[in-house]
């Protein structure tokens, strides 16, 4: 099963883009607090970029603000690039469902 679920704060405003075929998309960077403390007792953050597509991308771009809390459920996609007989794998988080928790444009 290929599922991820995260809750975090929007780190910067997403920008709505359109593909050459007319699909709307954006990327949302989330600041996600790690569930454990480091050796100094502090909770560090991870910064996770999530791809959002179609109507959901339009909605997020119209209502989200920096610092707003959202939840994201989605899947992880692998993109493979062959270069000079070497294989590179890149992993992308793709949103399938977004929950709006707090602090949106008025």
pLDDT per position as a tens digit, 39-93: 999 999 999 999 999 999 999 999 889 999 999 999 999 999 999 999 999 999 9
- The two structure tokens encoding residue 85: 């007989």
pLDDT per position as a tens digit, 15-37: 999 999 999 999 999 999 999 99
- Global pTM reads 0.84
Phi-psi region of 103 (alpha: psi -120 to 50; beta: other; left: phi over 0): left
Phi, psi (degrees; rounded to nearest 5) at 56: -65, -35
Domains of the chain, CATH where assigned:
4-99 (2.40.50.140)
**In the block, residue with structure tokens 């991308």:** 57
- Name the pairing type of β-strands 24-37 and 17-18: antiparallel
The residues facing 76 across adjacent strands are 93
């Amino acid at each position: 099963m290929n599922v991820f679920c995260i809750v975090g704060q929007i780190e910067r405003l997403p920008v709505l883009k359109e593909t050459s075929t007319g699909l709307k998309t954006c990327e949302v960077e989330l600041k996600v607090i790690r569930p454990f403390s480091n050796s100094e007792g502090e909770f560090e953050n991870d910064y996770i970029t999530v791809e959002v597509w179609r109507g959901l991308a339009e909605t997020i771009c119209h209502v989200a603000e920096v610092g707003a809390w959202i939840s994201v459920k989605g899947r992880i996609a692998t993109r493979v690039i062959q270069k000079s007989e070497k294989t590179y794998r890149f992993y992308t988080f793709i949103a399938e469902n977004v929950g709006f928790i707090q602090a949106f444009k008025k």
